[in-house]
Chain A
Amino acid sequence: MKKHSIGKILILVLLMLACVTGCAKDNSKITIVGSSALQLLAEQAGNDYRLTHPSSNIVVQGGGSGTGLSQVQVGAVQIGTSDVFAETKKGIDAKKLKDYKVAVVGIVPIVNKGVGVKNVSMKQLRQIFTGKLTNWKQLGGKNVPIIVVNRSKGSGTRDSFEDIVLHKQKAIKSQEQDSNGAVKKIVDTTPGTISYISFPYANGDNIQKLSIDGVKPTNKNITTNKWQLWAYQHMYTKGKPDKKTKAFIKYMLGKKVQHDLVPKIGYLSIDDMKVTRDSDNRVIKVGK
């Protein structure tokens, strides 16, 4: 009797394995891996897409921009998502990848309300993150030491922030947190902290959004590049996408997602942008 039950279990396990590997080869599946910032948008878009395309099977995973780019480069997934241009990531051959910009997200410096500062200049911001300014007094605020909370090295938000603010200077070594949520919680509760965060997360009782050079962090200011701290949300495919992947990306760029879902989540639609930016940070007005 025992022999039989063990044998049966073994066969069952083998069958399950066969099924799992078999399912993975299923061609109708679109796997999207990468940037956690884009995960939410892709998930919701995927769910809506399924309503109109019942045969589709869209799986969305996080893992970070680096994971997204490297997975799509080796062809393990159909779509790799990233907060940064593939050109700026070491070890990625951007020529092999096709870039689809699906949304824009703003980044805003935030401080704990206790510091007494609401506006900084771009230069001051750079000096804070390179460690040259160490007390809020130096910026006209209260006598509180500045505590910098950075994002994890190599994270998309950090790369975008450093590209625009630091101009190749090195940030001081400081605390690092790897998610918007953790950053928000720390700045909300710790006196003297400064960090930066995507627009949709920038709210909290003790959180003060900073203006830069008098420009307020609003979506409208992003569309004209008056507010310079913003980043594209990219979807990358390896070479030309297959039919099903292409259809989904078309849906992502379509009216329903861009005018409905994207603003709902707190991102900006690509259609609203009056400027474009390339991987070398050159900004060009649309239509010129």
Chain B
Amino acid sequence: MNDKDKLKEVVDQAIADQQVPHVKLKKMGPSSVDIEKLTKPSKETHQEYWGKGLTYFAIGLIIVLVVSIIGFVGYHGLATFIDNHVNVFHFLTSTDWDPGEGKNHVGAAVMIVTSFAVTLLAALVATPFAVAIALYMTEYSSKKGASFLQSVTELLVGIPSVVYGFLGLTIIIPVIRTLFGGTGFGILAATLVLFVMVLPTITSLTVDSLKAVPSHFRKASMALGATHWQTIYHVVLRVATPRILTAVIFGMARAFGEALAVQMVIGNAVLMPYNLVSPSATLTSQLTSQMGNTVMGTLPNNALWSLALLLLIMSLVFNFLVKLIGKRGQK
């Protein structure tokens, strides 16, 4: 009580002393100063608590989610090796995939090889096109043309993967069949489908990387008498290389994880591919086509979880590569 009276005195004194009248205090008038209000947390403080609390809550939820997903996939994926005693080395190198037959038939080498082959080929085919489109958009075209091209690539991103798969099944497969024989299903078809799917990802990230090259680099190069193409080739692309590589890896991550479209055109045969038009299977296609047919907790099911774990690890590796290249680029 004593404290409050003292405070009131101080406040009244302050009001009396003030040179420029304080709007809020003046409105309240000296006698109506509410000490309760002044000593307790204000409305703004409450907002602060609320805002902070909500942010922490959301972040906490996401962290719990991520950890539990990784934990869950890891738990089931490792069960193959711990509970079912499958040899890890055997799992990675054997081509015999028939988990229903027992622990000596759990070899994922076919899926691993095919997944990587499809991913690398798709990135290899898509990158030159993506860089070309990005260069045109940033260096040559008018603003209108660039924004038109940008909306086109964004449209490509928005098309669902099942549509790409369906197009591949109806157009690409028959064409490959007539050109190369066989069934048409295989790595080539998957590469072509994935090429269209990763193109927009790589393109838009490459555009960003080219835009990030400072314009005075270009001007300096021009001033030295370099042609536009010489500038692009020797200056712009050189400076942007680390970020273009990042773009390619993002594209590869997308290709590696794509399931549905690939599953529709790869043929789903667990056979080591001996050429580009022999049917094979990827990690993702095997997962999607098998998961409904296995019973939770059995070896075939655990083996599928191991494939999922492999996918998860690979996407972590891709992320790690992106970080690494980003750091190298900054130096």
Complex contact A177–B268 (CB within 8 A): yes
A185 within 8 A of B: yes
B292 within 8 A of A: yes
Q: Mark B284-318, 1 if CB is under 8 A from A, else 0.
A: 00000111111111111100000000000000000
Complex contact A152–B293 (CB within 8 A): yes
Complex contact B268–A91 (CB within 8 A): no
B12 within 8 A of A: no
Closest chain B residue, CB of each to CB of A148: B269
Q: Which B residues lie within 8 Å of A193 (CB)?
A: 183
Complex contact B300–A154 (CB within 8 A): yes
Complex contact A89–B295 (CB within 8 A): yes
Complex contact B293–A69 (CB within 8 A): no
One of A59-67, A134-142, A209-217, A277-285 at the interface:
A59-67
Closest chain A residue, CB of each to CB of B294: A66
Complex contact B293–A64 (CB within 8 A): yes
Complex contact A65–B50 (CB within 8 A): no
A10 to B58, CA, bound (A): 11
Q: Which B residues lie within 8 Å of A63 (CB)?
A: 292
B177 within 8 A of A: yes
Closest CB of chain B to A207's CB: distance in Å? 16
Given A175-B267, A176-B289, is A91 in contact with B296 using a C-beta cutoff of 8 Å?
A: yes
Q: Which B residues lie within 8 Å of A69 (CB)?
A: 295
A154 to B98, CA, bound (A): 10
Q: Mark B252-274, 1 if CB is under 8 A from A, else 0.
A: 00000000000010011111000
Instruction: List residues 135-175 of chain A with CB under 8 A from any CB of chain B.
Output: 147, 152-155, 173-175
Instruction: List residues 89-146 of chain A with CB under 8 A from any CB of chain B.
Output: 89-92
Interface size on A, residues (CB 8 A): 36
Complex contact B292–A66 (CB within 8 A): yes
B164 within 8 A of A: no
A288 within 8 A of B: no
Complex contact A91–B295 (CB within 8 A): yes
Closest CB of chain B to A41's CB: distance in Å? 18
Closest chain B residue, CB of each to CB of A185: B169
Q: Which B residues lie within 8 Å of A91 (CB)?
A: 295-298, 301
Q: Which B residues lie within 8 Å of A20 (CB)?
A: none
B62 within 8 A of A: no
A207 to B59, CA, bound (A): 56
B326 within 8 A of A: no
Complex contact A175–B279 (CB within 8 A): yes
Closest CB of chain B to A163's CB: distance in Å? 14
Considering residues B182, B267, B293, B298, which has the most beta carbons from chain A within 10 angstroms of its beta carbon?
B293
B184 within 8 A of A: yes
Closest CB of chain A to B191's CB: distance in Å? 18
Closest chain A residue, CB of each to CB of B263: A178
A91 to B298, CA, bound (A): 6
Complex contact B295–A3 (CB within 8 A): no
A45 within 8 A of B: no
A189 within 8 A of B: yes
Closest chain A residue, CB of each to CB of B186: A175
Complex contact A153–B100 (CB within 8 A): yes
Given A10-B54, A173-B269, A185-B169, is A178 in contact with B298 using a C-beta cutoff of 8 Å?
A: no
Given A6-B54, A152-B268, is A186 in contact with B183 using a C-beta cutoff of 8 Å?
A: yes
B51 within 8 A of A: yes
Of A6, A36, A173, which is within 8 A of B50 by CB? A6
A254 within 8 A of B: no
Q: Which B residues lie within 8 Å of A154 (CB)?
A: 100, 290, 293-294, 300
Complex contact A64–B292 (CB within 8 A): yes
Complex contact A3–B297 (CB within 8 A): no
Closest chain B residue, CB of each to CB of A90: B298
Closest chain A residue, CB of each to CB of B279: A175
Instruction: List residues 200-222 of chain B with CB under 8 A from any CB of chain A.
Output: none
Instruction: List residues 1-32 of chain A with CB under 8 A from any CB of chain B.
Output: 2-3, 6-7, 10
Closest chain A residue, CB of each to CB of B57: A10
Complex contact B296–A174 (CB within 8 A): no
B19 within 8 A of A: no
A70 within 8 A of B: yes
Closest chain A residue, CB of each to CB of B300: A154
A221 within 8 A of B: no
A190 within 8 A of B: yes
Can you identify 21 A-B contacts, CB atoms within 8 angstroms? A3-B47, A3-B50, A3-B51, A7-B50, A10-B54, A63-B292, A66-B294, A66-B301, A70-B296, A70-B297, A74-B296, A90-B295, A147-B182, A152-B289, A154-B300, A173-B269, A173-B270, A175-B185, A175-B279, A176-B281, A190-B184
- Extra A-B contacts (19), CB below 8 Å, given A69-B295, A152-B293, A190-B183: A10-B54, A64-B292, A67-B292, A70-B295, A89-B295, A90-B299, A91-B298, A92-B295, A147-B183, A154-B290, A154-B294, A155-B292, A173-B271, A174-B271, A175-B268, A176-B281, A176-B289, A177-B289, A190-B177
